[in-house]
Chains A and B, each alone.
Chain A
C-alpha cells in the first residue's frame, strides 16, 4: 500500500501521465476529430480506419482513457502538492542552517569583502550567525513549486467543471424580434449589420437580455470579441445569415406585417390560396430567349436577389420569380417583396459566475507561481573569514557563476568563445 501511494505521488508517475496526455494530444491533432466513419475510410483506408474507430481516436479528448489520464494527473498533482506543504514549514531556517553547516569554499579576506559588498549591493537580507554573515534572498521561492502544482491542479479541476458546466444555446434571431430561453430569460435583437460606418467588415448586433426575474440589461452592441455579459448569461455574435423579406397585407383589413423567409413556407390567409416561398437566390443570368438561370449564394452576398415562389390560387400552381419591389395579390393578401435582410446567429451561454472567478484566479495564480518558481529561487550564502558556502534547494549555477565572477576565478579569456 505504501509503495502504491509512493508511486502515485512520484514524479515518475507524473511524467508517465504527461507522456500519455502528450500522445493523446498528438493523435488528436493529427487525426481529424469527430468525423464520420466513411471519412476515415476515405482518408486512411478500411483497416486503419477500423483501428482508429476501435481505439476511439476519432474523438480522443472525450474518451474514458483520456479523462482517466486527466483524473490521474489531478490525483498526482494533489498528492504532490499536499506533500510539499509539510516540507515548506521551517524551510527558510533549514536553508540558513545548511549554508552555515556546508563546507566553505576557501577565499581570501579581500574576496570575502568583495562578496560582502556584492550581496549588500543586491540588497539581500543579512544576519550574523556563528561569526559569519548569512545572506539570504527570495525565500518566497520555497513556495514556487507548491503553488505551481496547486494552481495547475486548480486549473484542471475548475477548467473541467467550466467546460462541462456551461449551457450553450445557438439561435438565429431576426432583427426586431426576440427569443425566449427555457428558464424564461429573453434575448432581444434590435438590429444587425455586417459592416461598420467605414465599410469595414464588422458583424454587430444590438441586443438586450431580460433575466427571468425581469431585470434588463441596456441595449448593447455585440460583435466578435465583445459579447454581452449580464448575470449568468453571455450573448455572443456567432454567425449571420440572409433571409428573404416580404410584407404581407390583408387586403380586407389593411393590416400588414413583415415576414422573414429563412426556409420554405406557405403564406396564406385562408389555408388554400397563397404564396409558397421556396428559396432566395443571390443572382441570375438571363439568356437571349428570356430564360433564367438562378445562382445560389456562396459568399453570403445577395447582389441581385430573386425569390423563387409558387403562387397557389384556385387549385392552380404557378412558378414565379419575384424581385424586390414586386407585388403579388393572392387569396386576399398582397405580398410585397423587399430586399433581403441580414440576421444574426447568436450563441447564448449560461455559466456560474463563481466557477468563472475561480478559473480566472487559477490563471493568475499559475502565472505568478511559475514566476516565483523560476525567477525567485531561495538561496542562502554564508560568508566568513574561512570562505563562503552556498545553499539552495534549486540549481544555482547562475549564482555560482556570478560568485565566481565576483571572486575573479574560473573566468578566463581563453574560455570566452
Chain B
C-alpha cells in the first residue's frame, strides 16, 4: 500500500506532464488547468508516501539513493506548485512536472527497501544537509528545464523580449540563486558533519569534490549574469550545462566514483 502511493504519484506526475504538454502544444486551456490539478494531486500522493515511509523508518526518508531521488523529485514538485501558485504562468508546470516525473522515475529504478540508518548517518546534520541538497538540486533542475524551455521557444521564433521569455529567463536565474544558496548550506553543513563523524572538514571525497565543482560552475553563471549582464540564450545554455554537473554529482558520482558517500 505504501509503495502504491509512490507509484501512484509517479503515474500522476506522468499524467500531469502529458496533459500539460498536450495543453500547451494544442493550446487547450482545459488540459492545462487539469494538468495543474493533477500535478497537485501527484504532490499530495508523494507527500503521503514520504511521510509514511519516514514514520515507518523512524527517520527522514533521505538515507539512500532511492530515498534521496524520491526527495529530489518531491522537491521539484513542491517548487513547481509553489512557483505556479505565485506566478500563475503555464511554463512553470511545463518545466516542473517533467522534472518531478523524470527524477521520480529514476528513483523507481533504485532498491526501495527500508534499511536501518548506518551509524555515520545518525546525526543532527542529516536533515539539514540532505534536505538542502534535495531542494538545491530541484532548484537547479527547474532552472535547467527553464533553459531548455527558453531555447525551445527561441527556436520556434518566440521574441526574446516578450514578457513570458523574459520571465522564464529571470526565473531560471532566481532558481539558480536559491539553488546556489542551498548548495552552499549543503557544503558547509557537510563539512561540519564530516568533522564530527570523521574528524576532517574536507577530504576531497568525489561527492564533496563534485559538489564543489557544481558550486564553482554556478558561481561562474552568477558572475556572468550579475557582472557581465549576460541574459537570454547564453544563460539558458549555461543553465543546461550546469545542470549536467548537478546530475553527475547526484547520480554519476555514486556509480562511477565510489567514496565516503557511497551509500547516498
Contacts and interface: CB of A to CB of B under 8 A. Distances in A.
Interface of A: 11, 14-15, 18-19, 21-22, 25-26, 28-30, 33, 61, 159, 162-163, 168, 200-203, 223-227, 234, 236, 238, 347, 349, 359, 363, 366-367, 370-371, 374-375, 394-395, 397-398, 401, 404, 410-412, 415-417
A366 B184 contact: yes
Contacts of B118: 201
Nearest to B117: A200
Interface centre among B163, B192, B210 (most CB of A within 10 A): B163
B204 A61 contact: yes
B241 interface: no
A61 B204 CA distance: 8
B185 A367 contact: yes
Contact of B209 (A28, A168, A398, A412): A28
A374 B181 contact: yes
Q: Chain A at the B interface: mostly helix, strand, loop or mixed? A: helix
Contacts of B89: 416
B206 A29 contact: yes
Contacts of B184: 366-367, 370
B206 A227 contact: no
Interface stretch (B46-54, B99-107, B221-229): B221-229
Greatest chain B CB density within 10 A among A18, A168, A349 is at A18
A417 B91 CA distance: 6
B122 A11 contact: no
A370 B202 contact: no
18 contacts: A14-B223, A18-B216, A25-B216, A29-B209, A163-B200, A201-B116, A203-B119, A225-B119, A226-B196, A227-B199, A234-B199, A236-B198, A349-B199, A363-B191, A370-B184, A395-B229, A411-B163, A417-B90
B34 interface: no
Contacts of B169: 397
Contacts of A19: 220
Interface in B155-195: 162-164, 166-167, 169-170, 173-174, 177-178, 180-181, 184-185, 188, 191-193
B154 interface: no
B192 A363 contact: yes
B213 A29 contact: yes
Q: Which 7 A-B pairs have the closest CB atoms?
A: A374-B177, A29-B209, A397-B170, A225-B123, A224-B119, A415-B164, A363-B188
Given A366-B188, A395-B229, A417-B90, 16 more contacts: A11-B228, A15-B223, A201-B119, A225-B119, A225-B197, A227-B199, A234-B199, A238-B199, A363-B188, A375-B177, A395-B170, A395-B225, A397-B166, A401-B167, A411-B163, A417-B164
B210 A29 contact: yes
A333 to B, nearest CB: 40
A265 B2 CA distance: 57
B219 interface: yes
B44 interface: no
B257 A415 contact: no
B217 interface: yes
Nearest to A203: B119
A412 B201 contact: no
Contacts of A363: 188, 191-192
Interface in B227-248: 227-229
Given A370-B184, A412-B163, A415-B164, A225 B199 contact: no
Contact of A394 (B119, B164, B220, B226): B226
A349 B195 CA distance: 11
A25 B199 contact: no
A398 B170 contact: yes
Nearest to A371: B181
B211 to A, nearest CB: 10
Contacts of B219: 18
A395 B226 contact: yes
A417 B24 contact: yes
Contacts of B217: 22
Contacts of B201: 159, 162-163, 359
A417 to B, nearest CB: 5
B177 A29 contact: no
B120 interface: yes
A14 B166 CA distance: 29
Contacts of A22: 213, 216-217
Contacts of B41: none
B120 A224 contact: yes
A25 B180 CA distance: 18
Contacts of B198: 236, 238
Contacts of B31: none
A287 to B, nearest CB: 38
A29 B216 CA distance: 15
B251 interface: no
B117 to A, nearest CB: 9
Nearest to A227: B196
B18 interface: no
A372 to B, nearest CB: 10
A370 B218 CA distance: 13
